[in-house]
Amino acid sequence: MTATDSRLHDLQTPALVLDKARMMRNIHRLATCIRAKGAALRPHLKTVKSTEIASRLLADGLGPATVSTLAEAEVFAGIGVRDITYAVGITPQKLDRVAAIRSRGCDLSVILDSPEQAHAVAEASDRLGMTIPALIELDCDGHRSGVAPGDPALVEIGHLLHDSAAELRGVLTHAGESYEVYGREAHAVFAEQERQAAVASAEMLRNADLPCPVVSIGSTPTAHAIKNLDGITEVRAGVYAFFDLVQAGIGVCKLDDIALSVLTTVIGHQRDKGWIITDAGWMAMSRDHGTMGQKIDQGYGVVCDEVGNVIPDLIVIKANQEHGIIAPRPGSDAALPDLPLGTTLRILPNHACATAAQFSEYNVIPSEPGATLLKWPRFGGW
């Protein structure tokens, strides 16, 4: 039998469980690291989508913050967050909504990487009689969107913003390829590449007599590994509040840093196949299989007992919509544990953002031993 936590006993499964003590340890770890290096931390709230957690992530609960949807911007502006970057390339259809959020007293900025987007922001600023600030997104590693450092388009876009009713707020980049390497030293290489791309681009704008007050970098791996923040004004990261198996698999955290899990119940067995069946399939865990290309493939999640102790070499090997199939990791000689019908387990997720998105609330284990379980709402949408 597994160990039990009476605070989780009455939950209907699957349920999303958050270990508050682990979360707060993760939050303080990065905040202390970035503060010591002389830059601001702008946490990304896309992972948590919770006002309760945002109040703990943000300085004084007011910002600065990063979001990935305008729904996030609206909710967090509604609780008093006053400095938000919407870090997904802007489209013309969203600019009236951006302006509405700004009109409520929130300094919401957008990002872009093309003259067409800059024209749209300039036109909306003029039409609405409101200065909309924009940061130019940079491609520091070929991962996704952005202007390549050194591309003349950077200055062209800068002038389109600065010489109009809009505002050139600065530059922003994200070292997404840092997820493809393992260990602090490898992440530090990407962090320096990220820093150099942002600093050189800022200098390119300034040399063209354009302002660049904000020089923003960030990914969870590089934020934890960066050694030098010279020329950088802020660092962004998000999943670090919870961590997950992908982050553990690339050496950013350990399994006991992962604050998020899914509570599930054993609903059956296929003993001839060596399977244990649970009620947490991909609708609970998500279809994210982000550890598949890593040194250790964690399937759809690592299995723990109800109090969060990892059961060695036991993973979710398959996931159907509402069924999770648990078995020893392929290649392992571990024995299948005796987990009778009704046993409750906790599954550590591959990708905290994707797993959390399946649920409308967090069941929060308080930091204080024996304290009553808390429920914190979580929202979604765009």
In tens, the pLDDT along 96-143 reads 999 999 999 999 999 999 999 999 999 999 999 999 999 999 999 988
The pLDDT value given to residue 3? 58
> pLDDT band for position 82 (50/70/90)?
very high
pLDDT tens-place string over residues 329-370: 999 999 999 999 999 999 999 999 999 999 999 999 998 888
CATH code of the domain containing 347: 2.40.37.20
Domain end point (choices 210, 237, 264)? 237
CA distance 182 to 248: 10
Q: Is residue 21 part of a domain?
A: no
| Helical (H) or strand (E) element with 204 | helix 184-207
Same domain, 61 and 178: yes
Give the chain's mean pLDDT. Answer: 96
Same domain, 201 and 76: yes
Same domain, 221 and 255: no
The pLDDT value given to residue 7? 81
Q: Is residue 137 part of a domain?
A: yes
The pLDDT value given to residue 285? 97
Length of the chain in terms of residues written: 382
Same domain, 225 and 260: no
Same domain, 255 and 218: no
Same domain, 281 and 203: no
- The β-bridge relationship of strands 83-89 and 107-112 is parallel
Same domain, 163 and 219: yes
Same domain, 275 and 301: yes
CATH code of the domain containing 213: 3.20.20.10
Q: Is residue 245 part of a domain?
A: no
Q: Is residue 1 part of a domain?
A: no
> pLDDT band for position 1 (50/70/90)?
very low
295, 249 contact by CB (below 8 A)? yes
Residue 150 has pLDDT above 90, yes or no: yes
| Total of domains in the chain | 2
Same domain, 130 and 174: yes
Residue with tokens 């006991």: 256
CA distance 161 to 170: 11
Q: Is residue 11 part of a domain?
A: no
> pLDDT band for position 60 (50/70/90)?
confident
Q: Is residue 273 part of a domain?
A: yes
Q: Is residue 262 part of a domain?
A: yes
274, 288 contact by CB (below 8 A)? no
82, 105 contact by CB (below 8 A)? yes
Same domain, 219 and 279: no
The pLDDT value given to residue 256? 97
Domain end point (choices 205, 237, 269)? 237
In the chain, the amino acid numbered 48 is V
The pLDDT value given to residue 143? 86
Same domain, 99 and 209: yes
Q: Is residue 3 part of a domain?
A: no
State both tokens at 49: 């989508």
Domain end point (choices 175, 207, 237)? 237
Query: Which residues constitute the domain of residue 284?
Result: 251-377
Report which of 152, 191, 151, 153 is spatially closest to residue 173, judged by C-alpha positions: 191
Same domain, 362 and 226: no
Q: Which stretches within 37-178 are classed as H helix?
A: 51-57, 70-78, 95-103, 115-128, 153-162
